[in-house]
């Protein structure tokens, strides 16, 4: 059930018709905050679409207050804010209070339906889903893949976070290859490798003679990805000036190549990835908050390999099966040794270690002595944590569970 909250009867009616006829959703409506909260208390609301103004006040505080109350009553219910008085600062304030997205009136029906589809789980047990080489059955990975399965067919922007080597590009490819855009281009851009001076030319293209050295027309990455997906890796490395230019394209779906006055319109799904803590960068002023919320409708966090120890044997077998040698076998002691290592470089590092062990060994049987690993600093810190934990427990026993006395000791 989707709850539509708006004091304008025509808005409620038009949204109910759109969502029920085009989306196949059950819809309940409310004219004000009291009616909306009553519906929330009755339960069975999977998504709320709410106006931000229920009075002559156009500050948007009506919607913010309702949003806060909804998040108290039903913290996991996604909320889309929709208003004719929209602005980026208002959208950001709503996001800070837990809103999932923000759409200004008049809305685009297709965009709204795509966003709703991404936020409302459906029974996809009979839906074909191809992992495209993603290996593992760890619960954290399965949770990520379940979200990928649900949102792949939409155009919702996705932000993939996680440490280097965790497989962010493979997740982006799985989203693209399970989408309606799979026959169209998948264009990867490493933003960390593009200088500020070349950003516009690389991303939006240029006309011959646009600058010194522009000896021919160049098609930018966004235009190359038209109809498909653009994967913006290392988006946390993008400088502020380039962030402004990127935000404009994401908002308007248009851009002008350097040296061209005519706008180019593109239909592109955007998937971003980063290993950087973007929230900290926002606080530092090195990453735009409005861009963050624009790219972060759906957030996927990939766990590091040390949190997927149960997947290590599967990954070892996968990498060994693609070796230049046949019938490679890792002994149980070798697998145990690899499972005890923290792998700061994650899956990428595991792959290198496995391939090196196979390459350097004349035998098809890989023993633990055949595996060379760098010093494991993470395990040293883990050991220190264990010592501290044991000391705290002993001290609590000594004080009879008195936390204040144990802290003083």
Over the stretch 243-297, which tens digit does the pLDDT of each residue have?
A: 999 998 998 888 888 887 788 899 999 999 999 999 899 999 999 998 998 898 8
Q: Quickly state the pLDDT bin for 176 (edges 50, 70, 90).
A: very high
**Is the per-residue pLDDT at 87 higher than 70?**
no
The angle, 0 to 180 degrees and rounded to 10, between the axes of the packed helices 139-151 and 168-177 is 40
Locate 123 and state its tokens: 């029974």
Q: Which residue has the higher pLDDT, 235 or 117?
A: 235
* 18 beta partners: none
The predicted pLDDT at position 125 comes to: 43
CB 192 within 8 A of CB 233: yes
Can you give the three-state secondary structure of the chain, one letter per residue?
CEEEECCCHHHHHHHHHHHHHHCCCCEEEECCHHHHHHHHHHCCCCEEEECCCCCCCCCCHHHHHHHHHHHHHCCCCCEEEEECCCCHHHHHHHHHCCCCEEEECCCCHHHHHHHHHHHCCCCCCCCCCCCCCCCCCCHHHHHHHHHHHHHCCCCCCEEEECCCCCCHHHHHHHHHHCCCCCCCCEEEEEHHHCCHHHHHHHHHCECCCCCCCCCCCECCHHHHCCCCEEEEECHHHCCHHHHHHHHHHHHHCEECCECCCCCEECCCEEEEEECCCHHHHHHHCCCCHHHHHHHCCEEEECCCHHHCHHHHHHHHHHHHHCCCCCCCEECHHHHHHHHHCCCCCHHHHHHHHHHHHHHHCCCCEECHHHCCCCCCHHHHHHHHHHHHHHHHHHHHHHCCCCHHHHHHC
The predicted pLDDT at position 126 comes to: 43
CB 315 within 8 A of CB 347: yes
Locate 371 and state its tokens: 């595996």
Locate 117 and state its tokens: 């589809």
CB 194 within 8 A of CB 235: no
Q: Is 9 exposed, middle or buried (0-12, 13-18, 19+ CB in 10 A)?
A: exposed
**Is the per-residue pLDDT at 405 higher than 80?**
no
The predicted pLDDT at position 381 comes to: 47
**Is the per-residue pLDDT at 377 higher than 70?**
no
How large is the C-alpha radius of gyration of the chain?
26
Q: Quickly state the pLDDT bin for 399 (edges 50, 70, 90).
A: confident
Locate 220 and state its tokens: 């930018």
The predicted pLDDT at position 302 comes to: 95
Q: Quickly state the pLDDT bin for 324 (edges 50, 70, 90).
A: confident
**Is the per-residue pLDDT at 348 higher than 90?**
yes
The dihedrals phi and psi of 89, each to the nearest 5 degrees, come to: -60, -40
Q: What percent of the chain has pLDDT over 90?
A: 41
Q: What percent of the chain has pLDDT over 70?
A: 91
Interatomic CA distance for residues 177 and 180, integer angstroms: 8
Select, from the ranges 102-106, 164-168, 254-258, the one with the highest average predicted confidence (pLDDT): 164-168
């Amino acid at each position: 059930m989707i709850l539509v909250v708006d004091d304008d009867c025509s808005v409620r009616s038009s949204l109910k018709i759109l969502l029920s006829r085009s989306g196949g959703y059950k819809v309940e409506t409310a004219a004000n905050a009291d009616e909306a909260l009553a519906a929330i208390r009755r339960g069975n609301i999977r998504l709320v679409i709410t106006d931000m103004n229920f009075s002559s006040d156009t500050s948007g505080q009506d919607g913010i207050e309702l949003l806060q109350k909804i998040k108290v009553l039903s913290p996991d219910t996604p909320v889309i804010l929709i208003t004719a008085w929209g602005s980026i600062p208002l959208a950001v304030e709503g996001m800070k209070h837990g809103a999932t997205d923000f759409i200004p009136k008049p809305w685009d029906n297709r965009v709204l339906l795509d966003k709703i589809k991404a936020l409302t789980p459906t029974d996809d047990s009979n839906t074909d889903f191809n992992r495209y080489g993603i290996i593992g059955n760890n619960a954290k990975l399965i949770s990520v893949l379940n979200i990928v399965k649900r949102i792949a067919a939409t155009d919702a922007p996705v932000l993939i976070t996680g440490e280097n080597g965790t497989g962010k590009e493979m997740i982006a490819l799985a989203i693209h290859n399970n989408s309606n855009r799979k026959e169209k281009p998948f264009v990867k851009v490493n933003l960390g490798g593009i200088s500020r001076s070349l950003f516009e030319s690389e991303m939006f293209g240029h006309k011959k003679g646009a600058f010194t050295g522009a000896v021919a027309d160049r098609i930018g990455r966004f235009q190359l990805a038209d109809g498909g997906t653009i994967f913006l890796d290392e988006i946390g490395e993008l400088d502020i000036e380039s962030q402004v230019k990127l935000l404009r394209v994401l908002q308007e779906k248009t851009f002008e190549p350097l040296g061209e006055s005519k706008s180019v319109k593109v239909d592109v799904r955007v998937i971003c990835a980063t290993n950087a803590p973007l929230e900290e960068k926002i606080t530092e002023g090195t990453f735009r908050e409005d861009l963050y919320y624009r790219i972060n409708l759906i957030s996927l966090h990939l766990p590091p390999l040390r949190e997927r120890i149960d997947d290590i044997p599967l990954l070892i077998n996968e990498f060994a099966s693609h070796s230049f040698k046949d019938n490679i076998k890792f002994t149980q002691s070798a697998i145990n040794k690899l499972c005890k290592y923290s792998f700061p470089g994650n899956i990428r590092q595991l792959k290198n270690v496995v391939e090196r062990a196979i390459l350097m060994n004349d035998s098809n049987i890989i023993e633990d002595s055949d595996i060379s690993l760098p010093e494991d600093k993470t395990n040293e810190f883990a050991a220190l944590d264990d010592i501290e934990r044991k000391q705290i427990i002993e001290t609590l026993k000594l004080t009879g569970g008195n936390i204040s006395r144990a802290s003083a000791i």
